[in-house]
Structure 1
């Protein structure tokens, strides 16, 4: 989907050689990059765990750029809903299809139009923050309208900010990362990220049989582990929803319509796991969550035309997950 190199946008054809070398070095395994902006919004503007200070939680100051088809951005959309931040943090959605210009907006569709700066492509925002930026152009992006810069493009940290920094603004005191469970949440997050959230991508983007086999085995072993865990409790860490649940939901809700066929994660469908299916329905029914889900966009996005995975761009008719 292209990349910025010292402020210049390079399309995939110009990056093909670099990516081929990266796959060769990894033994055909898919390796996810890291985020380039790691500042934190805090209640008083003091510095967070990384980056610099000066990002005080204030209504109307921040803007979220996201994509409906991106599972990492989906986390932030969920938190914006469940933490009642819709009137506090404004939102722009990119069109749900990446192009040779990366993530782009569509001025012909109000839903996917950028009303903040009338941007055409997300890389323009990255250049607004840093004209010499080098790296991948990803969503989500949390933007500071006051300082005209990117606060963070790391989804796991954006949801931590949304969880706590704006509580005094919204009056919402739900805590999905309670300190008493912090270590357990972190450990479970790591396991789920490696084997499930990123595991589906390691399977779908594998370029050797060995890399694919390893990813699929790890993925379905982890799903079985969670299926057993949910046989004895409502949520991953007991009877209350935590961050670990919200980080898992985007992968589960995309599984049957996307990963099962497009990424060859096809040993079982999610509907074949009764406890995981019940759990997904419970999360989906939390007020506000359904508005962040679009199964048609997921199905079309994961089956979009791809020289490696789907050369003819045929979008399957089903399946239809039972979410209600």
Structure 2
């Protein structure tokens, strides 16, 4: 039986130690923070810096998440690679670790037609037994899943939903419309600015990068919505939106999220890709955190 993926799943960062290696103990600490706030875990995604991790690191971080969560909350792991073959190979290994579902980004770098994307996803879905979420983030991949494509893919029994991180309400609304009348096919909201609206319109869950920094504040949007406090949920969203806008004006995620965590006193290391913060950047981030979290 497929576990329902709902509420808040944090697109959790991948901590690195002083040598730049994966730090499982630091990751366990971050997982415990999320569980304490009522959040599940989405690992190995954009905020987890999958694009600079090797295969063994991806497996190690997923195993760490599964072990630490220990069935107490959903764990979804990202497995998308450029090639179908590599996606299937990684997917089979990740699935064996006991995740509740996997997420598959569109192949990136090479532009693909909608038919080619369909062929890619069907091959992956046929090869895996673990439920699959499509993952749409065109700004990072150059490939966009169209709603009609998603509706076709939703007919596959092992494709159970889509994570939309296109960043616009029009995109999210298009996928919600495409999912209408398809039992068991869910839409997961990616942008932190649309969490509340996504729940109002029918999203089952959000995948939040900002929840690394503000786990309780993000969860409050869901918790209040579930309790029927729609105005309270909207107000919680407004606070989070302010934090998001100001933090990402300094630098974008995941680097900004990791720097904020470091300034909050957590040891998560630096991002592996080329990004730097000067003293003014750090001072601005401290001020933002003081304004919204303290």
Instruction: Give the TM-score taking structure 2 as reference length.
Output: 0.30
More helix by proportion, 1 or 2? Answer: 2
Structure exhibiting the larger radius of gyration computed from Cα positions: 1
